[in-house]
Amino acid sequence: MTRNLGQVERAIRGALGILLISVGYMADLSQGTAIAAYAVGVIALGTAAMGFCPAWKLFGINTRQTKASET
């Protein structure tokens, strides 16, 4: 599995994941909305931790910068 997420995108996804999980826990949301917030938050945190997004691979998107010696 080749990483396809850049450092900035990984940081944004990590922050967004933490925010969504917190909102799902603390906000007065319906049960379905809270579960959706948890699920999207966990997915965002997981992709940030792995540095890989399956959807980006499907669409051919790569935000990771590679060094000239790696190409």
What residue type is 10 in one-letter code? R
State yes or no: pLDDT of 19 exceeds 80: yes
Q: Give the pLDDT of residue 42.
A: 97
Q: Give the pLDDT of residue 68.
A: 63
Nearest partner of 4 among 70, 65, 71, judged by Cα: 65
Quickly count: other Cβ atoms within 10 Å of residue 5's Cβ.
Answer: 21
Asked if 3 and 19 count as a contact pair (C-beta separation under 8 A), the reply is: no
Distance between CA 17 and CA 20 in Å, rounded? 5
Taking only the tens place, the pLDDT of each residue in 20-70 is 999 999 999 999 999 999 999 999 999 999 999 999 999 999 999 877 655
Distance from first CA to last CA of the chain, Å, rounded? Answer: 16
